[in-house]
Each structure stands twice: as C-alpha cells, then as structure tokens.
Amino acid sequence: MADYHTTYKRAEGESTQWEDIQRRLGNFAPADPVHKPDPFAPAAEEEHNKGWLDNKSPEELEDLEDETGDDTFLDQYRQQRLQELKTASASLSFGNLREIQRSEWLAEVTNAGTEVWVVVHLFKDNVPDCKIMTQCLQELAKKHSQTKFLQIISTEAISSFPDRNLPTLLVYHDTRCIQNLPGLALFGGKRSSPESVAYVLNRFGPICRKPGEGCDQEALTTEIKTLLEKLAAAHKQQTEGL
C-alpha cells in the first residue's frame, strides 16, 4: 500500500512561541526579514480627451475603435475635428475685393501665408481706368475665393507712386512680390474684362483657377477662347451702337 503523508510548510516569517523565546534569550539567530510586496496601486488610466486622441496614430485610433464597445467619445471627436477642418478651410476662403490700410500691409499681404496667392490693386478713385479694374477684380474675387484680392490707395502704399501707372496690380506669393503689372493696356485697355485680367494673372500661377485645376495647354486654350469671345461680343456691341 502506498504511504501517503502530508508535509506542512510554514509561511515565510512564521515562527513558534518557543522559537521566539529562544531568540530573545540569544540562543537562536535573528529571523530573516520578511519580504513585503509593494502596496497595490492600479495604473492611472489615460484621460480620454482631445489631446489624448491627437497623440494617437491612425493605426492606434483604428485599434481603439475596434477595442471599445462605446464609441460615443470617438464620434464626438470626429465631429469636432470636422468642424475644425471646416473652420480652417473657411479661413483660407476670401470671396471679395477688400480695401486695406497701410498698417495692414504686413499682415494681409506679406504674411498672408505660404499657400495663399495675393493680388493687390493700387488705385485712386479719380482715375477712370482704376474703376474698370476694380469691377473686374470684384467679379474675380467672387469666383476664385481661394485667392486674396485686396486694394489700397496707391499713395498710401507708396507715397510717391505716379498716377500714370494706375491701375497697378501686385502679385504676392510666399511673402514675396513676384510680379508688378502697371497700367490697364496689358489687360485689354478700356475693353478689359474679368476674363482678360484672369488670363494675364494665370501666367504667373494658379491665381484665377478652381482648386485642383491644372495649368495645362487645354486650360490655357479654353481661357483664350473665352477671352476672344468676350472681346468679339464687346466689339460687336460697340459697332452696333455707332
């Protein structure tokens, strides 16, 4: 028959009363110190807020969405991010020809942003050609809201600016003035139209183009065709009026 027996193993640090007496009398060596584990402290949970999500990579956000059953906070975060993107997009949408003062030049023109094209119209109210350019730019500003169209009285921008050069368009991009376009003749003179002004401006960049629209030969051909049709219609109207 098998011999079954139980061996009792005392817990670490446990001693009998007799052993305690012998240690006090110096007959036994002191007991080994008992190891005590650190007190339990649950790990601090990350605060689930916008900053916490902003630090997550796209892969981590996908994993988080899969792991959690309650995605209410993630939905709120998505809505907030969409609103932020809309606000950012709106800040880069202009849509009108706005007059500025000299004190606004640095902020509105030079520091408009690396991605923003800025067209500045130097004008005076008493110069008839300036009125024609103003009307053209007002139309272009409505159609091409991604471009900032501004105007300023010429002598306020440059105190000695000659009236014979009015109207003048200055084209700015990435803090630099990349083009200076004096006079109305370059745009068609008295027959200048929004299309003729747009055609000239687009020679220097995507100033009067829809976002994402290229600058290929087909686009230029279309612009030239539209411009010629406008000029022909204006000439016909003028001839019939004689």
What is the domain partition of the chain in residue ranges?
Answer: 97-241
- The residue whose two tokens read 């193993």 is 9
97-241 is classed in which CATH architecture? 3-Layer(aba) Sandwich (3.40)
**181 residue type, one letter:** L
Stated pTM of the model: 0.55
Please check whether residue 173 is in contact with residue 118, taking contact to mean a CB–CB distance below 8 angstroms.
yes
Please check whether residue 195 is in contact with residue 202, taking contact to mean a CB–CB distance below 8 angstroms.
no
Other beta carbons within 10 angstroms of residue 119's beta carbon come to 26
120, 103, 98, 96: which is closest to 177 by C-alpha? 120
Q: Which tens digits make up the pLDDT trace of 208-238? A: 986 555 444 455 555 555 555 555 565 556 5
Higher pLDDT: 166 or 3? It is 166
Q: In sequence order, what DSSP letters do the residues of 90-111 get, joined into one string?
A: HHT---SEEE--GGGHIIIIIT
Higher pLDDT: 40 or 131? It is 131
Please check whether residue 116 is in contact with residue 148, taking contact to mean a CB–CB distance below 8 angstroms.
yes
